Chain A
């Protein structure tokens, strides 16, 4: 039995992780580890990097093909796709956000990990509206690239 079946928290070893080089250009990490009938990410990808054998299969992102465009982030119904880019000491994480208030570029927000624990203050670099889902890019320390997956915005 995996820990996530009991507590809901994925660990990095549960995921397909890109190489350091792939992370440098920025790629989408699909935190979707169960075979559920769902495929909108495949159609959303402009370079056909995401593929699925059938509707119940796990989506696989070809990190070589992926251009880190973030289109899939706001599409995924499970809010389970994150684009991560790492360069030297900094990481940029693009995540889906469906709460109010919505932060603005330049705001300082609290970066949270997969357990909702506060990690550090993050700088909001980009805010894009995709339907009712906000796709937000934050800047954090590169050490947190594979940990930070949410933000908390103090009103």
Chain B
């Protein structure tokens, strides 16, 4: 299904999407044109391809969902190599992209044996979002040798799509747009890289922790032209800042192409300059739902309305207010009931909820739209923590399973730190401070630094940010997490 009209965003109030170098490639043997900087999936979206894969069980079409390499909705066969996560795989000129019909075929492509590469560093940091970048910069500035790995083409995590100005304190870059914070952190990172204090590996996955006598040992797989290089990494400490993934919601039609995580839509439009659709129904009126709705309008896309199952708007009123004055309705005590469409979203049915969150009879409303955005929370990405054997506990307010950790972000395992959304869902502003705390604490632990005064300063800063009414939930979460660690210590 190839759309006729262009969905490339060319004029935007905040971002510059002037046409980049064209990259021809092939999808099902048909020539399509992408642009430099695209991933395979963003180029396919821009060309109007909505179905990227199919359900193995039901043969139903599946499309772009998470956009950040965390789900399986975009696994395709590229140059004969199966299971390429096309949402994070860079587009290269002349590649052949195929859908994987049912289970992937055994690869025909050659896998030349690249010898594994050995790396020894003081600290390995997994994830180069706000928390990981701040951890790396802090840790390396204190004198530790640092390796930071990230799954994406470029560092910055979810900051690279945050076109709005951040809240927080003036000295912590409040009033600066997330995209500009990302650029600033990237600059600092590369300055430290050129001084030889940090090594950066992008397009790479930390695949697991392996047996080792003295140091921690991790496998890191770097993808090069869809082939892999294995790094054997030894380190004395590891900081896991692996972020989070968006939640799915249960309703008929939730796997149709056109049902996106709100963050995926943000990635598609704000990073790659591709419109996800023309008319959107936003599900969830937390800050993510409200902010992404506003950014959809900025990208020239209509937002039909925002529905929120809770009786009140969860996000900040300032975000709701700016959306309302653009004429977008927000309906609380309403939820999505069903999505309809043949190969992609064509319409949705919403329903009013009573005080017990149960659907009210005959309150269904039909909405014509081609895109559904789910902004219904995030789940911390803790698989690596789990594999290492860190104590995990399900804390609903934190978004799912989170690692026991102290106020220096160290888990119950010495030398294993966590920071950012992976330690419980919160904001980028707090993630950055948590990253600094983890980076500094690790440097102190390894004897690279003695600056406990700075550590106290970061703790105070974090407390200030969480002191208000909107900080109540993270405060509660961190209390529960601290309690978890006490329990663990008591048992030992």
Binding site for B on A (CB under 8 A): 1, 4-10, 31-40, 42-43, 54-56, 75-80, 98-102, 112-117, 132-134, 149-150
* Inter-chain contact A10/B317, CB cutoff 8 Å: yes
The complex places the Cα of A51 from the Cα of B330 at a distance, in Å, of 31
**If A77-B166, A77-B175 touch, does A37 touch B323 (CB 8 Å cutoff)?**
no
Report the nearest B residue to A75, measured CB to CB.
B175
**If A8-B321, A9-B324, A43-B170 touch, does A100 touch B13 (CB 8 Å cutoff)?**
yes
B10-49 interface bits toward A, Cβ cutoff 8 Å, 1 = contact, 0 = none: 0111100000000000000000000000000000000000
* Inter-chain contact B174/A40, CB cutoff 8 Å: yes
Grouping DSSP codes into helix (H, G, I), strand (E, B) and loop, the A interface class, with mixed when no group exceeds half, is loop
* Inter-chain contact B167/A38, CB cutoff 8 Å: yes
* Chain B residues, CB < 8 A from A117: 327
Interface size class of B (residues with CB under 8 A): 35 or more
**If A37-B167, A80-B321, A115-B324 touch, does A8 touch B468 (CB 8 Å cutoff)?**
no
A12–chain B nearest beta-carbon distance, Å? 13
Residue B384 CB within 8 A of the other chain: no
A33–chain B nearest beta-carbon distance, Å? 6
**If A38-B167, A39-B169 touch, does A114 touch B468 (CB 8 Å cutoff)?**
no
* Inter-chain contact B470/A34, CB cutoff 8 Å: yes
A149–chain B nearest beta-carbon distance, Å? 5
A133–chain B nearest beta-carbon distance, Å? 8
Inter-chain CB contacts under 8 Å: number = 137
* Chain B residues, CB < 8 A from A75: 175
* Inter-chain contact B330/A80, CB cutoff 8 Å: no
- Ordered by A's residue number, 5 sampled pairs between the chains whose C-beta atoms are within 8 Å are A9-B321, A33-B317, A36-B470, A78-B318, A98-B14
**If A37-B468, A38-B167 touch, does A6 touch B321 (CB 8 Å cutoff)?**
no
* Inter-chain contact B169/A79, CB cutoff 8 Å: no
* Chain A residues, CB < 8 A from B175: 40, 75-77
**If A54-B464, A56-B471, A150-B326 touch, does A78 touch B311 (CB 8 Å cutoff)?**
no
**If A40-B170, A55-B465, A100-B13 touch, does A77 touch B165 (CB 8 Å cutoff)?**
yes
* Inter-chain contact B327/A115, CB cutoff 8 Å: yes
* Chain A residues, CB < 8 A from B319: 78
Residue B69 CB within 8 A of the other chain: no
**If A36-B470, A37-B468 touch, does A55 touch B325 (CB 8 Å cutoff)?**
no
